[in-house]
């Protein structure tokens, strides 16, 4: 089997958020949190922000374009309307950053942070509702539980011997490569498809090469069922609930794209070690490039960019009458 352990390690490193992203995200979170906490009304409501989303779950990849801030209101009064929560937070942020940097949406406020390399903070106010949370919408309150999702991710990572989180990141990179940065379904849907496939026992592997091939197959199967059978992904944080994703998500394209990628990932894993270059070439087609690397998955040493073994050149010795292959030029 073509394990390519060193190359998978390098690929994992190549898709990690950049040092600037690692610095900008927590810094912007602290800055926006301080701005909101300075407001007397929000302070009265017990504002208590934490990072959620892909960054909060440690599954972000290079580069980080936005960070989700879950603003828990621990002392929120039940007689205050949902729209008042969003309006209050929006006005506070506009006062600080200006209305050209702040946008109000149905369930959140997005802030473009100055001097943070184009980073956005998505501010999501929330109130406690028994064992889950509720976020405000135009139609009242919507139940959610991102804190529990982070806990489940950590448990799954332990179940898979710390390979689950890096595998999620590789799958997010694969989605960007195969479907495009802005295409839907997005990275969260891929992550939840993987979680579902894991829960169903479809995903296994003792190495990253084996796990990745199995994971792409599992995600492809979940997307096939969504596209063909109307399957709904269960919400692992709330019993009896299902997840909803972006309107207009093209699951038929996702089905076909990931099915092809699954075939390539499995073919790469099944190749013999002496076919490592060909295996790497298939994996490069799945994982592609990012802002810093033409191929996030490197070619093994001893192989040309096309996956073929490099020609071995024998060093010439004094008195050797056998010509060295190649076009020698002097002068």
Overall average pLDDT of the 101-107 stretch: 93
Which residues of the chain form CATH 3.30.460.90? 19-144
Question: What pLDDT was estimated at residue 309?
Answer: 94
- Measured in degrees and rounded to the nearest 5, phi and psi for residue 278 equal -65, -40
State the DSSP H helix or E strand holding residue 143, giving kind and residue range, or none if neither.
strand 140-144
pLDDT digits (tens, 9 = 90+) for 18-67: 888 888 888 888 999 999 999 999 999 999 999 888 888 889 999 888 89
Which of 229, 30, 17, 230 shows the shortest CA–CA distance to 113? Answer: 30
How far apart, in whole angstroms, are the C-alpha atoms of residue 215 and residue 46?
41
Question: What pLDDT was estimated at residue 171?
Answer: 98
CATH of domain 19-144: 3.30.460.90
331 pLDDT more than 70: no
Question: What pLDDT was estimated at residue 135?
Answer: 92
pLDDT digits (tens, 9 = 90+) for 213-259: 999 999 999 999 999 999 999 999 999 999 998 888 999 999 999 99
How far apart, in whole angstroms, are the C-alpha atoms of residue 300 and residue 6?
8
Question: What pLDDT was estimated at residue 1?
Answer: 76
Q: How far is CA 203 from the centre of its chain?
A: 18
Question: What pLDDT was estimated at residue 312?
Answer: 61
Q: Where are the alpha helices (DSSP H) in the chain?
A: 5-14, 19-37, 40-44, 53-56, 82-97, 146-159, 164-179, 187-199, 208-229, 251-270, 276-287
pLDDT digits (tens, 9 = 90+) for 122-152: 999 999 998 899 998 877 889 999 989 999 9
Q: Which residues of 282-319 are buried (b: 16+ CB within 10 A; e: fewer)?
A: bbbbbbbebeebebbbbbbeebeeebeeeeeeeeeeee
pLDDT digits (tens, 9 = 90+) for 189-216: 999 999 999 999 999 999 999 999 999 9
Question: What pLDDT was estimated at residue 241?
Answer: 95
324 pLDDT more than 60: no
Question: What pLDDT was estimated at residue 140?
Answer: 81
**C-alpha angle 31/37/41, rounded to 5°?**
150
Rounded to a whole number, what is the distance in angstroms from the first to the last CA of the chain?
Answer: 47
Name the 3-class secondary structure at 112: strand
How far apart, in whole angstroms, are the C-alpha atoms of residue 210 and residue 265?
9
């Amino acid at each position: 089997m073509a394990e390519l352990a060193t190359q998978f390690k390098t690929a994992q490193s190549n898709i990690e958020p950049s040092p600037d992203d690692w610095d900008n995200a927590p810094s912007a979170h602290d800055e926006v949190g301080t701005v909101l906490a300075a407001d007397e009304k929000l302070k009265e409501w017990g504002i208590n922000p934490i990072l959620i989303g892909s960054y909060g779950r440690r599954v972000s990849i290079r580069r980080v374009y936005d960070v989700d801030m879950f603003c828990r209101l621990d002392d929120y009064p039940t007689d205050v309307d949902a729209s008042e929560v969003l309006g209050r937070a929006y006005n506070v942020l506009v006062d600080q950053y200006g209305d050209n940097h702040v946008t109000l949406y149905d369930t959140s406020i997005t802030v473009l942070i100055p001097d943070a390399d184009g980073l956005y903070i998505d501010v999501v106010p929330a109130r406690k509702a028994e064992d889950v949370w509720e976020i405000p919408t135009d139609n009242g309150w919507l139940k959610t539980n991102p804190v529990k999702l982070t806990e489940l991710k950590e448990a799954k990572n332990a179940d898979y011997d710390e390979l689950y989180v890096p595998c999620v990141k590789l799958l997010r990179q694969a989605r960007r490569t195969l479907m495009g940065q802005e295409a839907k379904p997005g990275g969260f849907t891929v992550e939840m498809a993987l979680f579902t496939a894991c829960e169903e026992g479809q995903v296994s592997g003792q190495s990253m090469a084996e796990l990745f091939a199995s994971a792409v197959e599992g995600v492809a199967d979940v997307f096939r069922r969504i596209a063909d059978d109307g399957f709904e992904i269960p919400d692992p944080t709330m019993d009896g609930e299902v997840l909803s994703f972006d309107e207009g998500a093209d699951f038929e394209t996702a089905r076909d794209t990931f099915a092809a990628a699954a075939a390539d990932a499995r073919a790469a894993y099944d190749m013999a070690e002496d076919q490592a270059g060909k295996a790497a070439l298939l994996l490069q087609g799945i994982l592609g490039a990012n802002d810093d690397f033409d191929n996030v998955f490197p070619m093994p040493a001893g192989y040309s960019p096309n996956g073929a073994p490099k020609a071995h050149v024998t060093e010439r010795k004094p008195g050797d009458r056998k010509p060295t292959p190649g076009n020698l030029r002097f002068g």
